[in-house]
Structure formats: structure tokens, C-alpha cells
Amino acid sequence: MTHFPLVVFDLDGTLVDTAPDLISALNWVLDREGLAPVPLESARKMIGQGARRLIERGLELEGREMGMADVTRLTTDFIDYYAAHIADASRPFDGLTEALDELESAGYRFAVCTNKLEWLSKLLLGQLGLTSRFRAICGADTFGISKPDPVILQQTVAQAGGVMSAVVMVGDAGPDIGVARRAGIPVIGVEFGYTDVPIADLKPDRLIAHFRELLPAVEHLLAKKAR
């Protein structure tokens, strides 16, 4: 049986620039608590570890300590507000559609492996008209596991019908590099995403600054792995 090569993408900061809507929702929650808004540019680095962690980091930035129950309440309110505004300003990064078309023509298939909740991921991609591009869309709640635990990536690949020997991960931050390393697959880092540690310092196998560079990067890594 011949298996297709699979490219697995992170979502926030990799496929889609979701920061405007995420930070808008965060600031809505903070405002209700009488706290100052977080500036978009500094908050971009806080994204990528799920809604609860974003709330916790927002509170830390404001010097406010809250108990677990209050953080849970704020997280629930955040998710409700965010879901209602999930694609107000979020858009795919430049060149994504063309890159997917190129890769698909070359025989590649796609999946999403994110620490975002699965239903929010599907809601966002649906509103952006991207759902049909992916054979699997898996979030932190899909298997009850978050990146960088390799099981979430392994299960995503299985759900997409791929095999680990023909997979490349694409992401923008530590959890993406970590999950790929632990799963033993090559990883491409994007320079336009959200990370508090420069992506180059995390030493992905390849770095790209624009999606036009994706196809040659994927082909290089899979050819190198095959040798």
C-alpha cells in the first residue's frame, strides 16, 4: 500500500493570524475585571498554549492573582466571547492558499494539530473556508493530550490516514518543535508566528519566512529523511 506524504500544521500563528481576535477576547475579559488591556504586539507572544494559559498569562501581566475557580470562570467566558468573534479579524497568513494548492498538486495531504480546542479550530477554519483542505483537525481536547506530548501528533497522523515515516510538522513555537522532536519527525518553523523565544533559537530543521518557501522546504526534509 502506498501512503501519501502528510504535512501537519499548527493553527494559531502558523496557518492563521488569529492574534487580533484572541487578544480582543482576552481584553474583553480583563476589562470586565477592571484590568487594563494588553497591547496586541506584546500579547502575540502569549498565544499558543490554549485559552486557559492565555488568561493566566494575561493576569500575570497585570499582576493579578486569582484562584483556579476564578480562572476557570474567566476561561469559560473568554471562550464564549471568542467563539462569537472567532473570524472577525483573523485571516490566513499570506500565501497559504497558494502553498496548499502547490503541495496538493505534488501529492501531499494535510492535517491540523493544535492546542486550541477542536471545536473552536473547526469553527475558525470553517468560517475561513479552509476545513475541506484538511484530512484531520485535532485539538487539545480531541485526545485529551496537548503538544508537546508526541501522542497528540501520532494520533492526528493516524486520524488523517498518514504514516509517521512520511510526515513533516509546520509550526511557529516551542510546543510545535517539541512535539515533532519527541515524535521523531522533521519540523519547519515559520518566522511570522507567535513565540516568546525566537523560532530560530528553537532550531527547527528548516525556517521559512513566507509560505512560498514551504514546498521546497517540505520536499527537502522528506528527501533527506528517506536517504
Using one digit for the tens of pLDDT, what is the confidence trace for 122-145?
999 999 999 999 999 999 999 999
> Cis peptide before 148, with omega less than 30 degrees from 0?
yes
Average pLDDT over residues 86-106: 98
Q: What is the dihedral of CA 213, 189, 172, 6, to 10 degrees?
A: 80
Spell 99-115 as b/e; 16+ CB within 10 A means b.
bbebbeeeebbbbbbbb
Side-chain-facing half-sphere of 72: CA atoms under 13 Å: 3
The helix or strand, by DSSP H or E, that contains position 138, with its residue range, turns out to be: strand 136-138
Q: Which residues are catalytic?
A: 10
**Does the structure show a pLDDT above 70 at 179?**
yes
The top-level CATH class assigned to 19-84 is mainly alpha
Give the model's confidence band at 62: pLDDT under 50 very low, under 70 low, under 90 confident, else very high. confident
Give the model's confidence band at 1: pLDDT under 50 very low, under 70 low, under 90 confident, else very high. very low
Q: Which three cell numbers stand for residue 151?
A: 501522542
User: What global pTM score does this model have?
Assistant: 0.93
- CATH number of the domain at 6-17+91-226, out of 3.90.950.20, 2.60.120.10, 3.40.50.720, 3.40.50.1000? 3.40.50.1000
How far does CA 158 lie from the centroid of its chain? 18
* Domain assignments of the chain as residue spans, ordered by start: 6-17+91-226, 19-84
Q: Measure the CA–CA gap between 107 and 10, rounded to whole angstroms.
A: 20
Coil, strand or helix: which one is 60? helix
pLDDT, one tens digit per residue, over 166-178 is 999 999 999 999 9
Strand order in the sheet with 136-138: 136-138, 109-113, 6-9, 167-171, 187-190, 206-208
Q: CA 111, 113, 119 angle in degrees (round to 5)? A: 95
